[in-house]
Structures are given as structure tokens and as C-alpha cells.
Amino acid sequence: MPNIDVCFSPELLHLYDLKGKAVVAVDILRATSTMVTAFAEGAANIFPVMELEECRAFAGQGCLTAAERNGIKAEGFDLGNSPFGYMGGNVKGRNIAITTTNGTRAIRMSEEAKEIVIGAFLNLQAVADHLAELGLDVLVVCAGWKGQFNLEDTLFAGALAERLQDTFSSESDSTLAASYLYQTAKTDIVSFLRQSSHVRRLEHLEIHKDIEFCLRHDVYDVLPVWRHDRLLDLRFKEVES
């Protein structure tokens, strides 16, 4: 039986052996939720990059550019980190280069893994189904907030462990903690998270609508995965290749 484990911060990633594993990179507020939304809205490829300048350079290749720092859209970029900014047809068929405070880091630091999947509550079941099909050991890599533990990514890990509970073992202390916290929170995650200083900091930025949206479960069946240098939606791209 494969195992599901949870790494609470990219700062702890060096303690885990990623080889042969499936990593689920998660940054619920808001990088991975936004990426999932972008694919649901028809984006072609997403290039997650670490630095603002690297991101800006993609504009020359016809890419849309998206950048967030400290919760706010960085100046001079096409898009920010709100999923609502990717709705309405503006990203359909487009490539997007994106850099965010925490989320892109979790993805790029996981490149040793056999598979990297982008997870969010929005595509929770699609991720669970893909992991069950792969049958690899899973490590959920929480982006956290500037290296620190955060609740929303942890709750996602607990939700995923619940979906996989019949087919995956989950005995690590971090997975147990995530599972218990999700059981406590799941009837009203929005209220649960309202106590979090991190979420309150984001609410101060008036993204309450984003937060409610990012906590919705199973809205999309998209499946963003890492291939070589980009994310693509596995629903479509494996058929084409």
C-alpha cells in the first residue's frame, strides 16, 4: 500500500527523499488555486518561476506574466494572484509565466520527484484520482507562508489524506495532524481559518471573495502536472503527445 506523507514547509523539504514519489504542491491562498483556475479557463502552459525579472522576460515570448509579492499584484505584470483575474476568457489558449511568494518555490524545489501535481481544494478529487492511479508514495508539499507552517495548506493535505484513506497508508505525525485538523475544520473551513493571523492579513488586502472561492471543493477536474519546464493540464496534453 503506498503512503501519503505531508511536508509542512519547503524549509523542511531536504528531510524527505523525493525520488520515485509523487509530490502534490499546494499553496491554497492562492498560487495553486489560481493555477488550477487558469487551466480550467483554458490556459495552455504555465511557467512557474522564482524571480520577478525571470518572469518579466517571458513577456517577450508572447506569454502573459503574473506576479504576486506579499499578497499583492506586482507592478508591471499582466496578472496577479487572484483566481478571478483569470476568468472571462483572457487566458484561453495563452501561456502564462507566474511567480508568487511561496507557491512557485514549492513547485521548483520538488523537481526531483517522479511526478509533481498541482493541488487545490478546487481540483481535490481530480488530484486524488490521479494519485490513486499512479500508486506512488505521495508527499504533499505545503508552500506555507515564507517558510512557516500554515493552516490552509495543511487542511488541504488532510482533505487529500481523507480521499485516499482506503488505498494509502498515512502514519506520519504530520499526516495525522493534517487529518485531525481537517476533520475539525471541514464543516466550516472559512470560519475555521478566520482565526488565522495569516488569513486575516490576506483579508486585510480585501481578498475575502478569493478566500471563499479557494476553499471550495471539487469545482474543476483539471490536473496540472509538471513536465520538463512547465505545468500543463494532463487531461489534454497527454492525449496530444
Task: Give the 3-state secondary structure of residue 26.
Answer: strand
Closest approach of Cβ 198 to a copy of itself, in Å?
A: 6
Nearest of 215, 207, 218, 203 to residue 163 by alpha carbon: 218
Of residues 144-203, which lie at the interface with a copy of itself (CB under 8 A)? 145-151, 154, 171-174, 176-177, 180-181, 184, 195-198, 200
3-state secondary structure 137-205: CEEEEECCECCECCHHHHHHHHHHHHHCCCCCECCCHHHHHHHHHHHHHHHHHHHHHCCCHHHHHHHHC
Please, which residue, 12 or 134, has the CB nearer to a copy of itself?
Answer: 12
Q: C-alpha cell of 233?
A: 493540464
Residues 11-40 that bind a copy of itself (CB under 8 A): 11-12, 15
Rounded-to-integer distance, Cα 27 and Cα 176, Å: 20
CA 49, CA 41: separation in Å to the nearest integer? Answer: 21
Binding footprint of a copy of itself, residue count (CB under 8 A): 27
Which listed range, 5-13, 62-70, 73-81, 85-93, lies at the site for a copy of itself (CB under 8 A)? 5-13
Q: How far is the CB of 161 from a copy of itself (least distance, A)?
A: 12
Alpha-carbon distance of 123 to 222, in angstroms, equals 6
By beta-carbon proximity to a copy of itself, the closer residue of 61 and 195 is: 195
Residue 8 sits in the site that holds a copy of itself (CB under 8 A) = yes
- Interface positions with a copy of itself (CB under 8 A): 8-9, 11-12, 15, 145-151, 154, 171-174, 176-177, 180-181, 184, 195-198, 200
